[in-house]
Structure formats: C-alpha cells, structure tokens
C-alpha cells in the first residue's frame, strides 16, 4: 500500500477482526454508527432541479395520489429560493410554503429543501450580514473574507470547523428564523466539498484559513461532514425537546459522517455504465460506515449534462435497483426531460408501481436492518463476502449484493438483458421472492429476468417481515398487518427479527 498526505500526517488504525462483523463493530467504535433514521426516509423520494412552483408541486403530488404510486418525500432544489439565498423562498413561485408543506403532510408526506454552504454576499440578506458582522466566514491567507463564486454569484463560506459557527448555523433552522419552515421540512446539503467554481480544483485555496488560523489543506475533507453535523443539530434543536429524528442528505462526507444522516453518490449520468457503477460505489461506502446511501435513480445528468435522457428500459432497471438500495431517490437535471414514474407509458407506470410496492412491503425489513446498523455498525447493503467470508467466489463480486441479512439482489445493468447469471452462496437454499422457486446454494445459475422482474431471492433459514397492503406513504402503514415470509434452511428451520417503534 502507498500512502500520501498533503498535510504531512497519516494516522493508521489496524482493526483486527477477525470476522467481518467484528471489523464493523471495531470501525464503529472509532467513527460512530448510523442512528436509526426516521421511517419515512426509507421510502421513495422524488426530486428534480427544480419543481417550478407550488402548482408544479401540487401536480406532481396529485399524480402520485391519482396513480396509486407510493412516495414519501418531495424535494426542492436551488430555484425555490429568493435568488439562491438559502433559508428563503421565491415569493412569486412559492408564496405559501407552510400551506404547501401542510398539504403534503395531510397525506403523510414530507418535503426537503436544499441549503448549501455558499452564502450570497448581499448586505440586505440577513444570513450573510449577521455572519459577516460576527466574522464567521473562512478567510483568505491575508485575513480578508474569502470571496468565491458559486450558484448565487459572489459568495462567502462559513467555517463549519468551528463549534461556534456550527451552533450559529444550527440556530438558523429554528422555525422563527427559517420562515416558512415547518416540522415536515427536512434538509439537503449540496456543494459542500466545498465547491468554489473559480477556485483551484473547483474548491477554495489550499492556504485559505479557518477562524482558528488552520489552512484549508488540513480540513478540506472534514468540511462537508461538519456542515452536515451542524444541519442535523439544527433540525434536532428546532423541536424544543421533542425528540424527532432529523433527516439530512449530504454530498460531501468523511469517516464518521454516518452519525449525521444520509449520503448520495453525486451527479451521475443517464448511462447504463453509471447504473452498473452504483453498486460497487455503494458497497464500498457501506464498508466504510456510510450505510445510509444511494445513487440518483435514472441518472442526474441527462440532456442537460450532454447525455441522452433515460428510456423506459434504463429507468425501469435503475428504479428496480434503487428499490433495493438503502436510500431511494429519483432526481434529474433541470434541462432533462421530466421523468416521474408516469412519464413514459401506461405499461411502464404499472411496472414501476409494482417495484415501488416491493420497496414499501419491505420497509419494516429495512427498518430492522438499520436498527442493527445503529447497534452493531453492520452495513445495510453488503457484499456477499460479509456473510460468506470463506467463499472465495464472493470476494470480488459486486454485480449482486445482500440487502440486509436475508435478500440476495442481482440488478440488471445491461441494455436488452432478459436473464442473469446469479451466484447463490452458502449451503442452504435460496428462494425466488416472486414464485418461490428454490435454488441450491454454492452454485451459479442463469435465471430469467424479463423487464418486469428483478432477480431477488430470500435466504434459506430466514423469516422476512412484509406489509402487503398498498399505501401511498409509509405513515399510512402504521397499523397495517405483517406477513411473515418463512424460507426454511436445509434442515427445515428458519428465524428472523422485526424491530418496531414510533418511527420518528
């Protein structure tokens, strides 16, 4: 192994294992665990840069309702603000933000708005002026306030490495400061690498200074984590002692970011190769503690990024894969064609509805897997070798994975494919989740995978809880019955777990 550190210091911790489970526990003792997320955040998220206005929000929400398509969260990107001034709303496009959120909440849904680290330099913008007066921004090497270019134009960047600044930022999320926000509104931190369009390597100068006088090169990789921490604490504090779990999505992360929320893989493209690449990326992140993670379904960059928009086949296959990954969000560039689940044809809409139903039927299973992640550090999405560490055939395998402890998933990531060669590890049988066909462990089998079927198999020896009634949001499933799907092992035995609490 070859190690290099620009700032001159490398700390190495050797974690002895010897089992994968012991390793994850040891790593969690160093960097922390993923706290159990609010249950709604495990449902489907619908995002676009940008939903145009309140009428567009009502249209999208209404279509999900009318077509019986389950979803839990509707997202707003940077255009919802007043001129890219975060913690504000465009008064013409979103004049009634509280009422809009309450309309969604009436059917069990939430909203997420984007809040980025670059603060528009505008003396009439209270967030900037107060931070400027308190001297909370990163400085240039000569001590002047750093000026960088990002979405709002000329911008300043808060020093999230400072505990004082993090507390000030957390206070911005109070309901009387973030006007138009409600308890149904959650947060997305983007561009927090930090991105500076006119800076070296599209970030700030390496010799820029924190308030403590430490150069940027020393804390570059920590910046996004500290921002996510400050946002998380803001969402926790705004509820004045009511212990509601926050939800915060961040693009930038570091070892330990799992303590503060979810991560996604960034601006992917509408390409089959990017669908395929999402699997090893998410598996690698999970091995490093970042288990609440996902990739944008359909690919973010379509026509707007110089790529074509996804056809029905690519989107369907991506939607199928996303439904069995920890964070499940559809997202699209503003110059891309609309790609909500009803934008192709009726057959595709019906197909995607069935996939979404599979996700919602398994929310209790995912929730239980996240409870284990909180207690043990075990990732929720796992390479096969985590469960079968003595099976060398699994060591470099990333074309299939385990969703939780008991489901083997083999996404279809190649155009035109109607079958897949699936490897079944272990000595116990695996059962097709649709028709119950049993496959012996320890061998590879070619299975059918037409466009309306994702190869998913339940481990012999497991009991998987499902909630079979179709609802449009997770909040509406609270009192629904559970179906326990029993898959016997070679000796006829099976066991499983179900964790339940208030959900928030």
User: If you write DSSP's letter for every residue of 203-246 in order, what string do you get?
Assistant: S--TT-B-TTS-BHHHHGGGHHHHHHHHHHHHHHHTTTT--PPP
> Strands 110-114 and 185-189: what pairing?
parallel
- Distance of CA 324 to CAs 103, 122, 220, 403, Å? 29, 44, 32, 6
Is residue 266 a contact partner of residue 301, using CB atoms and an 8 Å limit?
A: no
**Which residues of 404-493 form beta strands (DSSP E)?**
407-409, 419-424, 430-432, 438-439, 443-448, 456-459, 462-466, 483-487
Angle between helices 54-66 and 97-105 (to 10 degrees): 10
Catalytic, 267? Answer yes
Count the Cβ atoms, other than its own, within 10 Å of residue 191.
21
> Strands 110-114 and 73-76: what pairing?
parallel
Catalytic, 193? Answer yes
Compute the CA torsion angle 208, 210, 212, 215 (nearest 10 deg).
-40
Backbone angles phi, psi at 472, to 5 degrees: -90, -10
Burial class (CB within 10 angstroms; exposed 0-12, middle 13-18, buried 19+) of 237: middle
Is residue 337 a contact partner of residue 21, using CB atoms and an 8 Å limit?
A: no
Burial class (CB within 10 angstroms; exposed 0-12, middle 13-18, buried 19+) of 134: exposed
Which of 54, 72, 190, 428 does the annotation list as catalytic?
190
Is residue 424 a contact partner of residue 442, using CB atoms and an 8 Å limit?
A: yes
Which of 54, 90, 193, 374 does the annotation list as catalytic?
193
Structural tokens at position 101 = 């959120």
Which of 267, 391, 452, 504 does the annotation list as catalytic?
267
Catalogue the active-site residues: 190, 193, 267
């Amino acid at each position: 192994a070859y190690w290099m550190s620009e700032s001159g210091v490398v700390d190495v911790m050797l974690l002895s294992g010897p089992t994968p489970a012991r390793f994850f526990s040891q790593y969690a003792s160093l960097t922390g665990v993923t706290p159990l997320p609010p249950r709604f955040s495990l449902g489907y998220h619908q995002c676009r840069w940008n939903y145009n206005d309140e009428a567009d929000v009502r249209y999208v929400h209404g279509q999900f309702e009318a077509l019986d398509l389950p979803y839990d969260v509707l997202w707003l990107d940077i255009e919802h603000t007043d001129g890219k001034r975060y913690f504000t709303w465009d008064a013409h496009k979103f004049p009634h933000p509280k009422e809009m959120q309450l309309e969604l909440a009436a059917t069990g849904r939430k909203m997420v708005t984007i809040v980025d680290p670059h603060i528009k330099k505008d003396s009439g913008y209270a967030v900037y002026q107060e931070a400027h007066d308190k001297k909370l921004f990163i400085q240039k090497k000569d001590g002047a306030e750093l000026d960088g270019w990002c979405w709002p134009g000329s911008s300043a960047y808060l020093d999230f490495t400072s505990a004082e600044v993090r507390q000030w930022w957390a206070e911005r999320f109070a309901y009387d400061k973030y006007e138009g926000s409600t308890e149904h509104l959650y947060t997305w931190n983007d561009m927090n690498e930090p991105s500076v369009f006119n800076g070296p390597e599209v970030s700030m100068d390496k010799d820029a200074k924190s308030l403590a006088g430490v150069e940027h090169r020393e804390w570059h990789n920590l910046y996004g984590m500290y921002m996510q921490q400050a946002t998380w604490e803001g969402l926790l504090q705004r509820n004045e002692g009511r212990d509601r779990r926050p939800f915060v999505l961040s693009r930038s992360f570091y070892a330990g970011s799992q303590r503060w929320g979810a991560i996604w893989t960034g601006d992917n493209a509408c390409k089959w190769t990017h669908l395929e690449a999402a699997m090893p990326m998410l598996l690698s992140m999970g091995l490093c503690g970042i288990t609440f993670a996902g990739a944008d379904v359909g690919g973010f960059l379509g026509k707007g990024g110089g790529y074509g928009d996804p056809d029905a086949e690519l989107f369907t296959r991506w939607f199928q894969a996303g439904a069995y990954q920890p964070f499940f969000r559809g997202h699209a560039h503003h110059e891309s064609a609309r790609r909500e689940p009803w934008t192709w044809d009726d057959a595709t809409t019906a197909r995607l509805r069935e996939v979404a139903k599979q996700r919602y039927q398994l929310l209790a299973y995912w929730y239980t897997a996240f409870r284990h992640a909180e207690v043990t550090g075990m990732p929720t999405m796992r390479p096969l070798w985590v469960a079968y560490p003595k099976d060398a055939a699994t060591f470099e395998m990333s074309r299939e994975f385990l969703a939780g402890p008991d489901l083997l998933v083999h996404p279809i990531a190649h155009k035109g494919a109607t079958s897949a060669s699936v490897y079944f590890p272990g000595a116990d049988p695996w059962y097709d989740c649709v028709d119950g066909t049993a496959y012996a462990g320890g061998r590879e089998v070619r299975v059918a995978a037409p466009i309306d079927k994702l190869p998913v198999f339940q481990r012999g020896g497991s009991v998987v809880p499902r909630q079979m009634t179709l609802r449009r949001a997770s909040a509406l499933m609270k009192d629904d019955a559970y179906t326990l799907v029993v898959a016997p092992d070679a000796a006829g035995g099976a066991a499983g777990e179900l964790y339940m609490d208030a959900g928030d």
